[in-house]
Amino acid sequence: MALQARRVENVESIFGIKAAGRLMLEVIAPWVQDLGLLIESIESGRPAGASADWQPGAVIRLPFSQKLCHNGGVVCPQALMAAADTAMIFACAAAWSGYRPMSAVDQTMHFLRPVSFDVLCDARIVRIGRTTSFGRVMLSSAADKRPVGMVSSAYAMV
């Protein structure tokens, strides 16, 4: 009886939650790790039935903490921008199926309302090239999904 070889996909070649966890510990700056960011999802491959405008990306959660707040009890903008930037690092890694060193060349954030709750950062790749990538991050309340802010960014590969 002859055995037929079956083609098995290399699961490790797809950037997922496990790889993102390693990236968080090995690449992300310790002070950003201190924000307590949680990786909610990584989307590196087009899901079945995805719309034509689907984009690879990542969703991370910035848990609310008084240590992130300034006067008035709202999360400071620096923490929100750090969370958005980190989400884009994961989104780029998802698009490339692995991390590549990069540096931000442009980031613009629009703050839509004060934050005193957990924030979800949904980062999507708009265009990824050989030397430059562009993305957007929507920040929203983890509780009611209302928008908190939006970021557009560009990164150069180093």
Q: Residue 120: inside a domain, yes or no?
A: yes
- Over residues 133-146, the pLDDT tens digits come to 999 999 999 999 99
Q: Are 125 and 135 in contact (CB under 8 A)?
A: yes
Residues in the chain where the model's pLDDT stays below 70:
1-13
Q: Which pLDDT belongs to residue 47?
A: 83
Q: Provide the residue range defining the domain that includes 76.
A: 14-44+55-157
Sign of the CA dihedral running 18, 19, 22, 27: negative
Q: Which pLDDT belongs to residue 13?
A: 58
Q: Which pLDDT belongs to residue 3?
A: 36
The whole-angstrom distance between residue 136's C-alpha and the CA centroid of its chain comes to 10
CATH code: domain of residue 90:
3.10.129.10
How far apart CA 88 and CA 94 sit, in angstroms, is 10
pTM more than 0.85: yes
Q: Which pLDDT belongs to residue 33?
A: 97
Q: Residue 144: inside a domain, yes or no?
A: yes
Reduced 3-state DSSP string for the chain: CCCCCCCCCCHHHCCCHHHHHHHHHHCCCHHHHCCCCEEEEEECCCCCCCCCCCCCEEEEEECCCHHHEECCCEECHHHHHHHHHHHHHHHHHHHHCCCCCEEEEEEEEEECCCCCCCEEEEEEEEEECCCEEEEEEEEEECCCCCEEEEEEEEEEEC
Q: Please give the tally of structural domains in the chain.
A: 1
Q: Are 46 and 94 in contact (CB under 8 A)?
A: no
Q: Residue 100: inside a domain, yes or no?
A: yes
The whole-angstrom distance between residue 131's C-alpha and the CA centroid of its chain comes to 19
How far apart CA 133 and CA 130 sit, in angstroms, is 8
Which residue type, as a one-letter code, is found at position 43? E
**Structure tokens belonging to residue 46:** 């087009």
Q: Residue 4: inside a domain, yes or no?
A: no
